[in-house]
Structure 1
Amino acid sequence: MLRGLLVLLVLANLGFFAWSRGWLAPGIAPPNQGQHEPQRLQAQVKPELVAVLPPKDANAAVVAARAAAAVCVETGPLAESELVTAEAELVAAQAPAGSWTREPAPLPPLWLVYAGRWPEPAARRAREADLRKLGLQPEVLTAPAELAPGLVISRHASKAEADAALEKLTSATPPLRGSRVAQLPLPAANTVLRLARADADLQARLRLRPGEVLGGGFRPCAGAPVVASASAPKP
Structure 2
Amino acid sequence: MLRAAVLVLLLANAGYYAWAQGLLRSWGWAPPEQSEPQRLEQQIQPENLRLGRANGAGTNANANGGEAPAAPATPPAPASTPAPSTSEAAPASAPPVAAAEPAPCLQAGTFEKGQLDALRTATAGLPAGSWTLEPISLTGRWMVYMGRFADEDTLEKKRAELRARKVPYDRPGAALEPGLSLGRFSTEEAAERALATLGTQGVRTARVVQERTDATGYVLRLPAATAALRTQAEGQLRGLLASRPFRACG
> Larger relative CO (CA 8 A, sep 6+): 1 or 2?
1
TM-score normalised over the length of structure 2: 0.42
Q: Which has the higher helix share?
A: 1
TM-score, with length taken from structure 1: 0.44
Bigger radius of gyration among the two: 2
